[in-house]
Amino acid sequence: MTVDRPTEHPVDALFTNRWSPRAYSGEAIDDATLMRLFEAARWAPSASNLQPWRFLYGKAGTPAWQPIFNTLVPFNQSWAAKASVLIAVVSRVRSTPPGKTEKVDNVWHAFDAGAAWQNLALQASLLGWYAHGMGGFDNAALRQALNVPEDYAIHAVVAVGKLGDKAQLPEALQQREGPSPRQPLAAMVAEGAFRFEA
Ligand SMILES: Cc1cc2nc3c(=O)[nH]c(=O)nc-3n(C[C@H](O)[C@H](O)[C@H](O)COP(=O)(O)O)c2cc1C
């Protein structure tokens, strides 16, 4: 599906076609497709090629689904219930380098995990699937449920699925369902020094 999102300059439709729906169809995702999404994420760039991202997933209808789903805020549960897979995006904050005894922080872990999830989302879009990132979840509960060690940060949960009928959504969400606009380029790009709102 091609999405009509006006741009100020020409870009590949890959970028404008990706958007975050809430009306999912409940269709199951096969492992081959799911692994293609992780494969795309794997090829993201990262500081010192440390590849700090980790993905913990639960497919709908499997035992791994519920522990992730339970940690979503009720609003996100209301629509993500019909996703095909939930993916927790986690990254390694610090580790002990070979030959050293002290742990060292990787200050770029979040930047790199962001690049990896975007690769995943774009690959999903190219395959006719939709990835919707969520910050609305109980971080501590998810850490406990998935046994995530303290040296890893939990960033987001991503719902992936096929597009469903938006009539299934509550009225208010039906109106918001669709690709969103962006701020003008001038609000985010400057030549030289910072000159945006402080
Ligand atoms: C880190 C992150 C957290 C988000 N949290 C939520 C969320 O908890 N619930 C939700 O419905 N959408 C959430 N979103 C979706 C954003 O609202 C959406 O990506 C943004 O409005 C841009 O729309 P688009 O992805 O359709 O282009 C989140 C997106 C990101 C990247």
- What is the DSSP code (8-state) at residue 137? B
Question: How far is 102 from 43, CA to CA, in rounded Å?
Answer: 29
Domain around 58: 18-166
pLDDT score recorded for residue 102: 95
Phi, psi of 47 (to 5 degrees): -60, 130
Tell me if 171 is assigned to some domain.
no
Residue 40, token pair as written in the block: 């795309």
**Using one digit for the tens of pLDDT, what is the confidence trace for 101-155?**
999 999 999 999 999 999 999 999 999 999 999 999 999 999 999 999 999 999 9
Atom of ligand 1 nearest to the CA of 73: 8
Q: Grade residue 1 by pLDDT with cuts at 50, 70 and 90.
A: low
Atom of ligand 1 nearest to the CA of 156: 1
Tell me if 59 is assigned to some domain.
yes
- The answer to whether 69 and 77 have CB atoms below 8 angstroms apart is yes
C-alpha pair distances (Å), 25 with each of 12, 22, 152, 155: 27, 10, 32, 25
Tell me if 197 is assigned to some domain.
no
Tell me if 4 is assigned to some domain.
no
Tell me if 183 is assigned to some domain.
no
**Using one digit for the tens of pLDDT, what is the confidence trace for 15-61?**
999 999 999 999 999 999 999 999 999 999 999 999 999 999 999 99
Q: Grade residue 156 by pLDDT with cuts at 50, 70 and 90.
A: very high
| Ligand 1, pocket residues at CB < 6 Å | 19-20, 76, 132-136, 156, 179-180
Tell me if 135 is assigned to some domain.
yes
Which residue's alpha carbon is nearest to atom 4 within ligand 1? 134
Which residue's alpha carbon is nearest to atom 15 within ligand 1? 133
- Domain CATH number, residue 78: 3.40.109.10
When divided into structural domains, the chain yields a total of: 1
Tell me if 105 is assigned to some domain.
yes
Question: How far is 132 from 134, CA to CA, in rounded Å?
Answer: 7
